[in-house]
A and B are shown apart, each in its own frame.
Chain A
Amino acid sequence: MANRQPLIAVIDDEESVRLALARMLRASSYDVSIYRNGEDFLESLKTSMPDCAVLDFQMPGLTGRDVQRALTVAKLHLPVIIVTAHDQPSLREKVLADGAVAYFTKPLRRDILIAAVNQAIQRAPLVPGTSDPVT
């Protein structure tokens, strides 16, 4: 039986961003499932468990942090990478303290994202930080 590719969940309310992130991950041979909001993603966990979640922080309804807390409460131990268009230092500290593998501000480079995803999948602790700013 062939090895299954790691499944990465991308949750973002912005369709174009959601699609672009999925393409980056697929180009690096990950399987990707995409969700438009946190509610749909949490609902999907009843049927499939991804290996990592790339979670937009600012979404209508449940925010990325709400989803992160829901995962913690459910003790699912799913590695979470938070991405956001609003860089807030205090937010970065909070989400990392709550167990997020990484916190990135948009736009983010593919190699940074892939490195974070890889480390998340290997459950290796990631040095707290963000991607280099895109110039």
Chain B
Amino acid sequence: MRGQGSDGLLGRPLAGHVLGAAAVAAGYYATAQLGEALKFPHAPVSALWFPNALLMGALLLAPRRYWWAYLLAVVPAHLMAQMPLADVPLARILIQYTMNVATALIGAYALTSRAPVSLRFDRVLPAWRLVFFGGLLAPFITSVLLAAAFLTTNLDQGFWLTTGARTLTNSFAILTLVPLMVHAAERLRAPRRPRNLAHVIEGVLLTIALAVAGMAALLAPPITGVAAAAILFLPLPMLLWAAARFGVAGSAAALLLLGALTICGVLEGSGPFAAQANAHETLSVVVFLVITAVPLLLLAAALEERRDLESAHAASEALHGAVLASIQDQVVILDREGRVIDANDSWRQLREHIPAAPFVKLQIGDDFLQHCRETAALGVSAATQLGTSIGEVIAGQAAHHRIEFAAHSARGIAWFEVTIEPLRRSDGGAVLVWSDATHRKQAEANERAQQQQLVHLGRAAVLGELSGAFAHELTQPLTSILGNAEAALQLLSGPDVDLREIRSMVRDIVADDVRAAEVIQRLRAMLTRGEISREAVDLANVIKDVLDLARVDLHTRHVAVDVEFDPYLPLVLGDRIQLQQVVLNLVVNACEAMSSTDVQRRRIHLNARFDSASCEVVCEIRDHGTGIGREDLERIFQPFVTTKTLGLGMGLAICRTIIEAHGGRLWAKNLPEGGASFSFTARLGS
């Protein structure tokens, strides 16, 4: 707010304001002299009294904390202007000074009380405030007080004449000079682009035309009657011209010129006001000027505000268009009915690249939703989804939507991502932003493939750790097969062939072969590089399969296993092989963590339970090993971080990747009784 610490329009230190106050004092003196010179013969006041308006304008432009400098500065100017007048008593001079200062103070205070930092009168509301507070209220109050003081001190008996004449002359001066001063200060503070030559020429022509019309109307030989009234309208077109083309400042300047011509006419005894013979009727000149000034200033302010609004609107539209044009993604704006109301150039160019895409043919005014319905009827599922999503966003049923779909393009399959946001305006609508997601989808596919490769390598690695156990599992049936076969051959080469014994041997050979095949089958299943599937999986079976795989390894390491399942463990959603990989990895880790544990305490507890709070299945593997260092509890899930002497440190990182890809969590903690616990969650399968 001005006057509350800001430096006002003329922001400068005290020294600058002292100089400014001196200039205002000089101006006060000069305009007071001018006012005295232009005093009407029959009126107690001057027709053009600018000192008060000058002081009010200066106060408006200065911070309130420096107002005292201006008020003090005009004291000598006022005395110098009034003292030489022989018939003016000192009391009258003091009363006049007090009321002049009060006029400026009341107006400036009222106009700066709720004004923005940038005080401008080229808006309707500030112009009204200028008219009411500055142009009418401040001069009227002080004029009433001045006239009352004169009456009380017997200085003047014409109370209403004094009140009316002073109010009107100050009003006209304030309504013209103050806007000009504020406008000039504004131009000094923030210089605008220079007016173009045509505008300058227009201003010169307007001045000439107004001067000519004014002289014709106001300086012509005295006219009376209807002709006098009619001729007063002669300058009106030029005044309207000024209001329409040059704003409040131009109108104020035109009014000043009109006022000057009017006063000149009266003083020269010409024009329609020259016939006035007494003081009351002389005031009609000032009434004419004020009545002309008020609507003209308000009209100029209204036109300037509208012009600025239109300019701002045009700038906003241009910015809007520029922003839309700068966006590489395709932007389409729909109204609440789903019709296309705008689209950017990228959208228009899209049809050249992807002519087969069903939506790119739409143009401004087309019904997007209807097109979605028609396309959906042709079996394009993306159209159904798109139409439904747009409808929900427009209806406010969804905050936004994001969908993806593929379309054939000249370069093959192109992927699009469409985000649908509500159009934030009272009329509603939606904004569709289309972006080419082909590269992202390809990158995602590559990432998935790499991740799948990594997971597969991790699986091969953990199976590699069990290679000794698998060798043992295969060796046992092979040993049996070989033994039985060679024994049978030996028996067959003898004289007495015991066919029953040989049949028994062959039967065992078959059984051992099947057993060996099952081991190979389990390994093959784990090592198969298949697509990741999402199916309902019984986690209990997964754990049992893993324990079958690791049976020999557990046996070799002398590790006992406790298993505990919820009796009604729900199925989880996931990839069976990947979940097996996770459990196997955690079991092998648990075994390795217990390598230095007493054989009697080497025990793994596996449990799987349904957690009703999170509606997930939680699987936990606990060991009696050495536990995990506190600082490693989270680090161990990072790639290439390992606490083992052998191994790449990828196992747990891969496990976490797998579990998170399944929408679950994997974490570790140390157990109070010693050892560590690894737990993971899995979403339900239905």
Q: Which residues of A are interface residues toward B (Cβ below 8 A)? A: 14, 16-17, 19-21, 23-24, 26-28, 58, 60, 85-86, 105-110, 134
Contact = CB atoms under 8 A, between A and B. Distances in A.
B311 interface: no
A23 to B, nearest CB: 4
Contacts of B479: 17, 20-21, 85, 106-108
A17 B480 contact: yes
A39 B508 CA distance: 27
Interface string B499-527: 00100010010011001000000000000
A106 B478 contact: yes
Nearest to B556: A58
B486 interface: yes
Contact of B490 (A17, A27, A105): A27
B78 to A, nearest CB: 119
Interface stretch (B9-17, B143-151, B468-476): B468-476
Contacts, number: 77
A122 B600 CA distance: 41
Given A20-B482, A24-B483, A86 B472 contact: yes
Contact of B482 (A27, A58, A105, A107): A107
B538 to A, nearest CB: 29
B588 interface: no
B477 interface: yes
Contact of B512 (A16, A27, A28, A110): A16
A107 B487 contact: no
A46 B472 CA distance: 32
Contacts of A19: 480, 484, 508
Nearest to A105: B475
A37 to B, nearest CB: 13
Interface in B220-239: none
Contact of A24 (B471, B475, B487, B515): B487
A14 B476 contact: yes
Contact of B508 (A16, A106, A109): A16
Given A14-B476, A16-B511, A134 B482 contact: yes
B487 A85 contact: no
Contacts of B488: 23, 27
B481 interface: yes
Given A20-B479, A20-B508, A86-B472, 13 more contacts: A14-B476, A20-B482, A26-B487, A27-B487, A27-B490, A28-B490, A58-B472, A86-B471, A106-B478, A106-B479, A107-B482, A134-B478, A134-B482
23 contacts: A16-B477, A16-B508, A16-B511, A16-B512, A17-B476, A19-B508, A20-B508, A21-B479, A21-B483, A23-B484, A23-B501, A26-B487, A27-B486, A28-B490, A85-B471, A105-B475, A106-B476, A106-B479, A107-B482, A110-B487, A110-B490, A134-B478, A134-B482
Contact of B486 (A24, A60, A85, A106): A24
A105 B472 CA distance: 10
A16, A58, A105: most-surrounded residue (chain B CB, <10 A): A16
B561 interface: no
Instruction: List the 5 closest A-B pairs by CB distance, nearest first.
Output: A20-B483, A27-B490, A23-B487, A110-B486, A107-B479
B487, B501, B508: most-surrounded residue (chain A CB, <10 A): B487
B569 interface: no
Contact of A23 (B477, B478, B483): B483
B482 A109 contact: yes
Contacts of B475: 85, 105-107
B555 to A, nearest CB: 7
A18 B480 CA distance: 8
B43 interface: no
A28 B487 CA distance: 8
Given A16-B508, A19-B508, A24-B483, A85 B490 contact: no
B324 interface: no
A60 B488 CA distance: 30
Contacts of B480: 14, 16-17, 19-20
Nearest to B490: A27
B480 to A, nearest CB: 4
Given A20-B479, A85-B479, A110-B486, A27 B511 contact: no
Contact of A85 (B472, B482, B512): B472
B483 to A, nearest CB: 3
Interface string B436-472: 0000000000000000000000000000000010011
A52 B491 CA distance: 22
Nearest to A15: B480
Contacts of A109: 482, 486
B556 A16 contact: no
